[in-house]
Every structure is written in structure tokens, then in C-alpha cells.
Structure 1
């Protein structure tokens, strides 16, 4: 990835962010099965309804964000260069819809399939790790490349929700 980042004028992201929730999902299940089982205290339709909302929002945000990248001819990989700031669609509500989506999908899976509270508890940890390994580098890159255009966008749209 570093060669691509250097040659494509992108953010200094060195680890693919989608792997973070996958690792947290696996870790949550392992902790549940081997150390301390914490079950989600919801049953039946309430649990499945919550899972459906989380998964639905997660899919909506991801499809919306990736779709905007594709329509503008950009690649969503954070280590590749960004020719323009996307501020329409789901990017009107959150600066990081893909990362929000990853957390919502992780929580939805934890509620629906695994019924493991640890998977859900790790969502804020996932967002913190993604901030540390990706977002801070992406924002520094975007501020340097686009200046006030990006800082104005940043001031008007929240990072997460």
C-alpha cells in the first residue's frame, strides 16, 4: 500500500480500515466463547428488528458512499489520491459514512447472528482505531490538498453522526 500511496498522492493510511471491524468481530466472538460470555438481552422480534435497522442503515450508508465514489470516478481506497471532495448524498450527513457503516454492520451482525454483546461493545473501539489509523491521515491530506474547501466542509458536517 505504501507504494500506491506515494505514487498516487493519497493519505498516509497503511492498514485497510475494513479489516478493523472484521478483527473486532472475531475478537468479540472469541472473548464471548472463551473468556466472558455476555449475551445481548433482547429476544425475538425486538432483537431481529434492532438488527435489521442497524444492518439496513449500514448497507444504505455503504452503498451510498461507494456509489458516489464510483459516479465521480474515484476509488474509495483511502491511500489513493482524491481528485475532489464529495459533499453530496450521504456525505451531507457524515464525513465518514463508510466507517460509520462498518460499525453499524458490525453491531447488526453482533445482534442478529452472533447475539454476542462483545461484538457490539467493540464498535466504539473500532471507530477509535479507524480514527487513529485512517481518519486523521485522511483529514490531514484533505486539508493540505483542498485547504478552506475541506475545512469549510469539515466545519459544517459532523465526523460520525
Structure 2
């Protein structure tokens, strides 16, 4: 039996990010003493002199900016005729647009939007959970995708990987 032409990621990456975001928000809101778990960003906003509308503006800029990066990167996949979804076969390497600066601009866009959403939800715990989220994405998505792309595209992918960093 032949090996499937996919990287074998553990779950759709947007669901991984969403799961960690909701876990951080949920843990802070369902606990008997949420103030013991979650301090929010009130202390930081007060220390920096940021009012709630400014914090929400920063959150909105991050959310929209992350989504725009995702759209730009995913649009290149669609224009080149290859699947955006990591559970489908890749047919071409893309190294233009945001892929000149990051091998994973979509996951970077997800992370930027995640930060904006955590700020909008006033959830320091959700923001803290971005670190383990990125570790899961790196270990169980990106590394599998990189092994897949190296096997599929060989020297072309190795040269690209040598020129462009994984995140930034």
C-alpha cells in the first residue's frame, strides 16, 4: 500500500489555534475564583495608560492584520492551483509574496490574530497559552509539513528552506 500524498498533520491548524484560545478564555471564566486564574490586561492597560477603546483598537488591528496576511498567503495557493489545506496534496512550492519572508505566513497570521483575540477577550491566560499552541503547531503540523515537502520537492525545498526562516 502506498503512503498518502499528504503531510499527516494531527488536526486542521485553525482548530488548534482556536482550541488553545478557547481553553484560555474558558479556564478563566468557568473557575470558582477566576481572578485567581486570570488577571486580564487591566493592570497592563493602566500601567501603560491605555484606555479600553485603545486596547480594543490594538486588538482589532492585530486581528485584521493577521487575517489579511492569511488571505494574501492563501490567495497565492489558490492562484497557483495548489491546496491550502495541509491534509491535501501539495502540487507546487510557493516562494513569492509573504513566503519570501516566512515559510509559514498563514500560521504566523493565525498567531497574530490569536494575540488580537486574546487582547479583545481581555484574557491574559489565553495569551499565555499561545506559547504551547505554537509548540503544538510546530511539532505536529509544521515539522510534518516540512518532512513532506522535503520528500516531495527535494532540492528545491531544501534551497527554499535554506533561504527563508520558518517564522520570520
TM-score normalized by the length of structure 2: 0.85
Residue 8 (structure 2) pairs with residue 38 (structure 1): no
How much is the aligned-residue C-alpha RMSD, in angstroms? 1.5
CA distance in 2, matches of 1:62, 1:132: 21
CA distance in 2, matches of 1:117, 1:159: 26
Match of 1:60 in 2: 68
List alignment gaps of at least 5 residues for structure 2.
46-50
Superposed displacement of residue 44, structure 1: 2.5
Superposed displacement of residue 71, structure 1: 0.5
Give the number of aligned pairs.
154
Residue 166 (structure 2) pairs with residue 159 (structure 1): yes
Provide runs of 4+ in structure 1 moved above 3 Å: none
Query: Is residue 21–residue 130 contact of structure 2 (8 Å, CA) maintained in 1?
Result: no
Superposed displacement of residue 16, structure 1: 1.3
Match of 1:91 in 2: 99
List alignment gaps of at least 5 residues for structure 1.
none
Superposed displacement of residue 99, structure 1: 0.8
Match of 2:19 in 1: 23
TM-score normalized by the length of structure 1: 0.88
Query: Is residue 103–residue 123 contact of structure 1 (8 Å, CA) maintained in 2?
Result: yes
Residue 19 (structure 2) pairs with residue 11 (structure 1): no
